[in-house]
Structure 1
Amino acid sequence: MIWLGFLLLLLPDSGRSASGSPNYLIGLGSYDITGPAADVNMMGYANTEQTASGVHFRLRARTFIVAEPQGNGVAFVNLDACMASQLVTIKVLERLKARYGDLYTENNVAISGIHTHAGPGGYLQYVVYIITSLGFVRQSFDALVDGIEQSIIRAHDNLHPGSIFINKGRSSFQLPLSHS
C-alpha cells in the first residue's frame, strides 16, 4: 500500500510539480484518546493487577490524509494504543459516513496502533483481550472512537495543497560487525 509513502514527507507547499502547482491535498489532525486514568487494566499485560493509577502522558490519535485534487484520497490514523480493532473501525466508519457520505470507507481508512501497553484496555470486542480488564470498558472504547473520529475531522478540515517527495539512495551509515 501507499501508507508509508505518504508518511515519509508531508511538507505542505514545500514542493511543486513540474507545472509549479502542488500535487496533493495534505491534512494532519490529532486528538486525545487517553480514556480512563485510573482503575482500568493496562492493555495487553495479561495481569489483572496491572492497572492504571493516573496519567503520565496523554495518548493521541494522529491522522494523516493525502488526497488527489480530484478527490481520491487515503487517511492513515496512528494511535498511541496497543492496537485498533474491527469494532473500533466499524464505529469510526459509521460516524464518518454520517458526516462525509462515502468519502471515507474501509477502502481508504487505515487505523493502526503503535503497540504500546501504556494505555487503558477493555476496548476490544475479543474475549481473550478483555479477560484481564474484567470485561468491556465503555470509557476506553468511547475515548478511542471519539478521538479517532475527531482526529480525522481535524485532518480533513486542515487539508491544504502540498507535494510529496520520495527519495531513493544509499546510506553511508554502517553498523560495526564486531566489538574488538
Structure 2
Amino acid sequence: ALAGLITQPGFDIPTLFSSMGEGTKGMFETIIVAVLVAALGELIKENGGFEYILGKIRKRAKGKRGGQAGIATLASAIDIATGNNTVAIVMAAPIAREISREYGVPPQKTASLLDIFTCIWQGIIPYGAQMLIAVGLAGAYGVSAFDIIPYLYYIFLLFICGVGAILIPEHFLRKRKGDRVSG
C-alpha cells in the first residue's frame, strides 16, 4: 500500500487506509483458523492427547530413524484427519519437537519431514485442496479423484524421497572433504 502511495498518481491517504483494511479483511479467515487450531492443540494437550501419541511413538521408535519415522507418521495421520497440511503442521509441531529432542533429530530435518509428509497426503486424499481443485477443473469431463490418483507421479516420487531421507544414513548424503562440485 505504501508503494502505491509513492508510485501511483491519485493514490492518497484515504485510499491507503482503505487498501490496508481490505488486506486485513482478507486475512480474517486465516486468523480464525490459526486461533481455532491453537485452541484445539491446547485442548488435546490438556486432555493427555499429546502424551498418548508420544507414548505410542515411543513404543515403536528405536533410535534416530525411528524418531524420524514417528514424525512422518504423526504428520501423515494428522493431515489425513484434518485434510489441511498447514493445520496438520501446526498441530503436529509441538509433538514433533518433543520427538526430535528425544531422538536427536535436527530441527531442520523435523521441519522437512513435517512438510514432506503432509504434502504427500494432501495430494492423495480426495478431500484435500489440491485434489478438489484438480477434480473441479477436470470434473466437467467426468474425471473423479480416484481417476487422478494413478497419475500422481510427483506425490509418489516425493513419498520415495521422504522415505529415503529417513532410511539412507546421513553420512552417505553429506559432501566429503576434498570432493569437488562439478559445474
- Global fold match (TM > 0.5): no
Quick check: which has more Rg, 1 or 2? 2
TM-score (norm 2): 0.22
More strand by share: 1
Structure with the bigger RCO (C-alpha within 8 Å, sep 6+) is: 1
